[in-house]
Chains A and B, each alone.
Chain A
């Protein structure tokens, strides 16, 4: 089985199918981004923004200074590593929470599946800020969660712990905010698994865990990869969540980038950090894609 779907297809077909999204992304993504890539080599404007490309003397206002500043201090690398870890933990927890849920929905009776899926995404049509504020209430010191936790800790003699403005709060909210983006791709993939494969395996004596490990999990890898990408990448660069619920140490690389465009009025440096962030995310995604190549042997 050579997988005839992978035939290149006629050039006309490729142009028709790939052309429109390619064109759209070039105009509304690549070109604006190019502006900012160039900006990373430019100088900051005296009052913010960017300095004009040509200086009064007729030379070019370009330099590698901003890149130099990035590599000069270990500060930014530290932040990248920290953000990477936060994103990784978030992705792992999302995966652990989402997989059983997606599996259950995929294997529910047909008439319930739509509803169950909608129920997953419904909370996310309310506003982001209001959901975070709700978490601030739930994690706040007056509520059941913190109260019971502190009561339990108090028994052991540990002082009262605040859940808010802490790494714990950041992770909880990060997981919450990204969960549907793990559930949906997983579901889309799991729903299509051929049940006869599992039946056959069972008939041959494979236990539940073995069926999962050798059949379900490998077949679900593309979904796992898609979901992980859609959680890890945004979580890597997010700034809103650490801003709102992070403590004094809660800063992530996204916050520093935001700072460059706002308080520091240093757009070139902000561009440099953004380029490094995007490149890191793309590289990591590429590596994960290689690891998640679906095996063709199932057919």
Chain B
């Protein structure tokens, strides 16, 4: 037996060497040769664009139009949570051209040095963007990013059920005050995200969601724990379906999801509407941005894509599809009136003031919050 092990190790090393050799030959879609733009004045970028985006966060028509215009192909990979994307990149995954992180994830990527600076000369459509979304403290001067779309984390509810229970769901007390929440016990879900639930608790308690004070975390954890018995589940994915099916009546979720749920409920001819409101105390605003990874195989096409997405019509298609907020002024005329009228998607000036964007949280607070989150879920 003892003689076997060294021989096995040798075999293992031998196999590894073989594999490294084999690995280099295996290629996914042929690496695009970004047309050397220096060679010809009008060389169009083309090839394959590797887009790492949220689920269902780009309209199929937009993809088709881009592919036709640039005679290119978009290879899409998806994530449903910033953390998934960050974990993959942290483990060393490469090969992505464009990634679409939310602002606090953008902060992480910039700090890590994972992004390449944008060449503004290739992005003439920047002038279309709404000024209040540009040059933010997350990315001064838009050195690395351009806003893509935004959504808010709001309260969504079944209007019929709320009326029947006599509840006014337009503030966070309907989720966090056990006396109120338990009136619809077992029919409430909240997002399965410490970021979102803690922030909602902070806003309810009147604390800045970006606090780094550990005592604040304990206060928020207590509030969550007290309200938890009234909730049915922590759910970030199927709550849309549960809302439109009428099983869940109240939820903490994303404005785009409630927009979807309402459309689905109407298509299924339900006798209720799924309404979403920005809570009176405020809400979290999530702005998603386009960035180019530093190891992008096709930066030329990536720039072309970003510029393309800043065209009014293209930007509007996503809003019309999923009801996302739009940071593009030129897109507003292409957006359907019912989407524009949705206050939780396009909040008015008053509501905008109450919105908070989440920032990067230092490691110590993350750990503490993570521990409290586990505690809240277990005890």
Residues of A within 8 A of B (CB): 11, 14-15, 18-20, 22-24, 26-27, 31, 44-50, 73, 75-76, 78-79, 82, 133, 136, 140-142, 162, 164-165, 243-244, 246-251, 255-256, 259-267, 269
Contact = CB atoms under 8 A, between A and B. Distances in A.
B228 A248 contact: yes
Task: Bin the interface of chain B by size.
Answer: 35 or more
Contact of A11 (B3, B9, B363, B379): B3
A75 B375 contact: yes
A19 B11 contact: yes
B108 A48 contact: yes
Interface stretch (B57-65, B148-156, B187-195, B272-280): B187-195
A44 B363 CA distance: 8
A140 B245 CA distance: 10
Contacts of B370: 259-260, 263-264, 266
B374 interface: yes
A15 B7 contact: yes
Given A247-B233, A248-B232, A266-B366, A45 B8 contact: no
Interface of B: 1, 3-4, 7-9, 11-12, 15-16, 19, 81, 83-84, 86-87, 90-91, 108, 111-112, 186, 192-195, 228-229, 231-234, 237-238, 245, 247, 360, 363, 366-367, 369-371, 373-375, 377-379
Contact of A248 (B111, B234, B366): B234
B259 to A, nearest CB: 22
18 contacts: A11-B3, A14-B1, A15-B7, A22-B4, A24-B15, A44-B367, A47-B360, A164-B247, A246-B233, A247-B232, A249-B378, A250-B233, A255-B377, A259-B373, A263-B195, A263-B366, A263-B373, A265-B363
A224 to B, nearest CB: 29
A165 B233 contact: yes
B4 A19 contact: yes
Interface of B is mostly: helix
A15 B377 CA distance: 50
Given A27-B15, A75-B375, A256-B374, 11 more contacts: A19-B8, A27-B12, A47-B111, A47-B360, A50-B90, A140-B247, A251-B377, A259-B374, A262-B87, A264-B370, A266-B367
Given A27-B15, A261-B87, A265-B83, A47 B4 contact: no
Contacts of B9: 26
Most buried by B among A18, A20, A49, A50: A49
B44 to A, nearest CB: 36
Most buried by A among B1, B3, B233, B370: B233
A24 B108 CA distance: 37
Contacts of B195: 263
Contact of B378 (A140, A251, A262): A251
B127 to A, nearest CB: 33
Contacts of B19: 27
A186 B373 CA distance: 41
A179 B17 CA distance: 40
A222 to B, nearest CB: 23
Contact of A46 (B16, B81, B363): B363
B281 to A, nearest CB: 22
A246 B192 CA distance: 12
Contact of A45 (B11, B90, B228, B231): B90
A290 to B, nearest CB: 21
Contacts of A15: 4, 7
A27 B18 CA distance: 12
A162 B232 contact: yes
Closest 6 CB pairs of A and B: A49-B90, A264-B370, A262-B83, A23-B11, A165-B233, A251-B377
Nearest to A165: B233
Nearest to A21: B8
Contacts of A247: 232-233
Given A23-B15, A75-B375, A165-B233, A265 B86 contact: yes
B8 A75 contact: no
